[in-house]
Amino acid sequence: MTALKLDKICKSFGTVEVLKDIDLTVENGEFVVFVGPSGCGKSTLLRVIAGLEDASAGTVAIGDEVVNNVAPSKRGIAMVFQSYALYPHLTVRDNMTLGLKQEKQPKTVIDERVDKAVTMLDLTDYVDRRPSDLSGGQRQRVAIGRAIVREPKLFLFDEPLSNLDAALRMNTRIEIADLHRKLSASMIYVTHDQTEAMTLADKIVVLRDGRVEQTGSPMELYNNPANQFVAGFLGSPSMNFLQTSVKGQPDGVTLGIRPEHLGLRDGGRIMGKVTHVERLGGDTNLLITTMQGEALTVRLFGQHMAQVDDEVALDFDDAHAFYFDANQQRVYPDGIATAK
């Protein structure tokens, strides 16, 4: 059985079309990440699934039931927001139990579910505190706990880690992955952060301007992007795009090459000058301006002696090259555009 099926979802606010013909299937137990730049429609899509916004056209089915006319509270979903949305005057325990009390669940059920969630989220010592006496990470765990105790058919997360600092984001990301394994639940997770998408998803949905650009596993999208947008959005540092810098490159075609696939090679096809060196310890990133004036990044494994103003020659294995046409669609080496 599928957890969620969207069929041709459209959403407009006034005359502005925010979502355009979105089709999507989420399988039971799948972790699906919506990723795309700010304003591309991720939150709106999540809110349509939750029933907080009505779709202008198309159907939303949860399990086998079309839910377009079903109230949010009856859809079997639980949502976790970036802002946590906790009640400041309630304790951790009361924040977590409120929804269950409103559902009139028996006390034994409530206690059992809350105890389990609190243990799972390492909140045992904090159940009597108010949100103001918790760190940001702890507050977000309470918000997640409040979703868990509802035992929803589908979890919806809207940028839940955006308010946390970098170190905590990484820890919480691992905790969410772990939680997904333990609960075997269906989850949809929205983020603008490609690292979160790559590390959490079974399936990534790349959105741009209200449309799905490509759907697939992280490695499918990384290794086989359908177009220049997906190629450039996933991966850090991003893929390099060169119009003219490579000897023998046909006119009107953009070469895409990932930073880790470029190397310093005597007699290489790309000549340039080092403009900046990032020494990360484990890796060294060289920022280079080619003789044709195009900027690119080279990621070298380990520590490297290169200095600013060094003149360098670069090359790559042709098997790692991507080509894109003037419409930013993928062109395959035999010249046939079969992007999809």
Ligand X SMILES: Nc1ncnc2c1ncn2[C@@H]1O[C@H](COP(=O)(O)OP(=O)(O)O)[C@@H](O)[C@H]1O
| Site track 37-76 with Mg ion (rule: CB under 5 A), x = hit | ------x---------------------------------
Kindly give, in sequence order, each residue whose CB lies less than 8 Å from that of residue 290, ignoring residues fewer than 6 positions away: 242, 245, 270, 271, 272, 296
Closest approach, Cβ 47 to ligand X, in A, equals: 7
Closest approach, Cβ 198 to ligand X, in A, equals: 18
The reply to whether 82 sits near Mg ion by the rule CB under 5 A is no
* Stretch of residues binding ligand X (CB under 6 A), selected from 36-44, 162-170, 214-222, 266-274: 36-44
Q: CB-wise, 130 or 211, nearer to ligand X?
A: 211
For residue 142, which amino acid is it?
V
Q: CB-wise, 47 or 304, nearer to ligand X?
A: 47
Q: Which does 307 bind (CB under 5 to 8 A by kind): Mg ion, ligand X, none?
A: none
Closest approach, Cβ 316 to ligand X, in A, equals: 34
The reply to whether 39 sits near ligand X by the rule CB under 6 A is yes
Closest approach, Cβ 31 to ligand X, in A, equals: 19
Residue nearest to Mg ion (CB): 43
Among 44, 95, 227, 240, binds ligand X (CB under 6 A): 44
The reply to whether 41 sits near ligand X by the rule CB under 6 A is yes
Q: CB-wise, 38 or 102, nearer to ligand X?
A: 38
The reply to whether 160 sits near ligand X by the rule CB under 6 A is no
Among 13, 87, 301, 332, binds ligand X (CB under 6 A): 13
Q: Which does 11 bind (CB under 5 to 8 A by kind): ligand X, Mg ion, none?
A: none
Positions in the binding site for ligand X (CB under 6 A): 13, 18, 36, 38-44
Binding-site ranges for Mg ion (CB under 5 A): 43
